[in-house]
Amino acid sequence: MIDINLIRTNKELVKENIRKKFQDSKLALVDEVEELDKKSRALKQEGDQLRQSRNTLSTQIGALMKDKKIAEAEQVKQQVRKNNDRIAEIEREEEVLSEKIRKIMLTIPNIIDESVPIGKDDSENVEIERFGQPKVPDFEVPHHADILDSINGLDKESAGRTSGNGFYYLLGDAARLETALINFARDYMIAQGFTYAIPPFMIRSDVVDGVMSFAEMNAMMYKIEGEDLYLIGTSEHSMIGRFKDQIIKEQDLPVTMTSYSPCFRKEVGSHGIEERGVYRVHQFEKQEMIVICRPEDSMTWYNKMWKYTVDICRALEIPCRTLECCSGDLADLKVKSCDVEAWSPRQQKYFEVGSCSNLSDAQARRLGIRAKGEKGTYFLHTLNNTVLASPRILIAFLENNLQADGSIKIPTALRNYLGGMEKILPKK
């Protein structure tokens, strides 16, 4: 959510930002919220004047009563009652206007960084840099479901009976491998100075409203029937929510945390759920990172954070690249975002395994996350980045470490997490 002062002082900037995001249908909302804000401020001014008048009249009543001027005091009291009635009416009107303004402000996109490329959708995202040499082996790389099947590692049929489409069982070495990947990513982030956390896996609606747009929530999150709780789609939501309505001491900044959680997503939209394999599913595991920092430090942290994911991919011997998200592909709260994509030898193309985002003060403004310094209280900046998400990273790992004999090589960095195992041998 942007600062309403931007609309008061530079609404053309807000409108131009909307155009850059190809959301022209929202242009009228800027004028609407400007008018509502003017009415709200006029009511506030009237209310303040009436309260000041009430204080003056109350002083007069005391003086009149002291002088035994009862009739005159009663007339002044009547005026005070009228003022009180009007003040109560104003407060009700202000409450209605405030809610209308907030609802509109929640839909107006954040101001994107000037470095963001302009484009309508993800087809216009821009490659930034490649890391590692993408290779295509001289043998056929099977579908990841077949690789998992060769080590007796995947059972979607049983999951279909217990839970439905979009769920799966990982078994044996495949399950061990996923856990090893998550644990390796956890320890890597702890080594970077991040505090490890396991957060709540459900959050209330006021936290959901604070961390994402309604459209995102409706497409992603599962609602717990009969309760004000949602299953998290990613752990940064509950991690950021931890600081709701808090004033953080400047000496405690930046807040740097890495969190493990299962994640639950409806995956509503054009992509759908895969019938085969585990690329797009309803439940997965993820190691996440968040940073809460001073505004002037957020871009420095942004550039540190996505590099952590690249470093992990390279340690796992997975070639990858970074892709700058264009204006039309940015969620409304984000000012800048990039995807980390892993190389798929089977498809001979890259696919997304992580995403890093700078949301400036949008989430902090919604949730009331502030710091207090020499110049007063101010909203902080929030950032998040995928450290490692499985099973997508598992797919990239299997394809890039598959050997001609069907075995799966274990890179040196991961061997301690698998009891010293150097390769996983096929069972079939």
Class of domain 4-105: mainly alpha
- 116 forms beta bridges with none
Distance CA 14, CA 20 (A): 10
270 has a pLDDT exceeding 60: no
Distance CA 316, CA 338 (A): 21
pLDDT value at residue 217: 78
Cα four-point dihedral sign 329, 331, 336, 342: negative
pLDDT value at residue 268: 66
Length of the chain: 428
Give the Cα-Cα-Cα angle 418, 163, 285 (nearest 5 degrees).
35
Across the chain, what does the average pLDDT equal? 95
Backbone torsions φ then ψ of 4, nearest 5 degrees: -65, -20
What HEC string does 12-80 produce? HHHHHHHHHCCCHHHHHHHHHHHHHHHHHHHHHHHHHHHHHHHHHHHHHHHHHHHCCCHHHHHHHHHHH
Same fold, 4-105 and 122-424: no
In which region does residue 340 sit, left (phi positive, over 0), alpha (psi from -120 to 50) or beta (all else)?
A: beta
Distance CA 376, CA 387 (A): 34
Q: Which residue bears the tokens 């709200």?
A: 40
- Place 65 in a pLDDT band, splitting at 50, 70 and 90: confident
Q: Which residue bears the tokens 């049929």?
A: 157
Provide the CATH topology of domain 122-424.
Answer: BirA Bifunctional Protein; domain 2 (3.30.930)
Range from 65-74, 106-115, 310-319 carrying the lowest mean pLDDT = 65-74
User: Which residue ranges make up each domain of the chain?
Assistant: 4-105, 122-424
pLDDT value at residue 337: 98
CA dihedral 346, 350, 351, 352 (to 10 degrees): 150
pLDDT value at residue 16: 98
214 has a pLDDT exceeding 80: no
Tell me the percentage of the chain whose pLDDT exceeds 70: 98
For the stretch 133-186, pLDDT in tens is 999 999 999 999 999 999 999 999 999 999 999 999 999 999 999 999 999 999
For the stretch 371-410, pLDDT in tens is 998 889 999 999 999 999 999 999 999 999 999 999 999 9
> Can you read off the two tokens belonging to residue 146?
């077949």
pLDDT value at residue 273: 67
